[in-house]
Amino acid sequence: MTKWIKTDSIPAHYIGSTEDTVDIECCLDFENKIYEERIFPKSLFEGVNLKPDSYFILKIHNKTNKIRIKITEDPKQAKFFPVVDWGKFKKLFDKKKRH
């Protein structure tokens, strides 16, 4: 019998969901700032607390002709995702000061 082999651990951030799917932002390469949005079936996230600012680690395991994804809630994964200070952009959105 073939053993499951861990092939990847991907930091992930919840973006949103529909009735059938969950949108996740994945950090593929932190140093080079490579991120990718991936869409998964909602059933994969049963029992997982999906809310804004939810962070996960996606642990990928493979064996012959099979793949397994284990999702673990992990707030520490937030360090892999940039935080935007929208206050710095206030002038761009302030209608009173536009000419």
Q: What pLDDT, on a 0 to 100 scale, did the predictor assign at position 32? A: 94
Give the tens place of pLDDT for each residue, 31-62: 999 999 999 999 999 988 888 889 999 999 99
Extended beta strands in the chain, E state: 5-17, 21-29, 34-41, 55-63, 66-73
Give the tens place of pLDDT for each residue, 74-98: 999 999 998 766 666 666 666 555 4
- pTM assigned to the model: 0.75
Position 98, amino acid: R
Nearest to 68 by CA among 20, 3, 14, 13: 3
Task: Return d(Cα 52, Cα 45) in angstroms, integer.
Answer: 15
Residues in the chain: 99
Position 81, amino acid: F
Task: Return d(Cα 99, Cα 89) in angstroms, integer.
Answer: 17
Q: Where are the chain's structural domains?
A: 5-97
Other Cβ atoms less than 10 A from the Cβ of 60: the count is: 14
Q: Which CATH class is domain 5-97?
A: mainly beta
Q: What pLDDT, on a 0 to 100 scale, did the predictor assign at position 69? A: 94
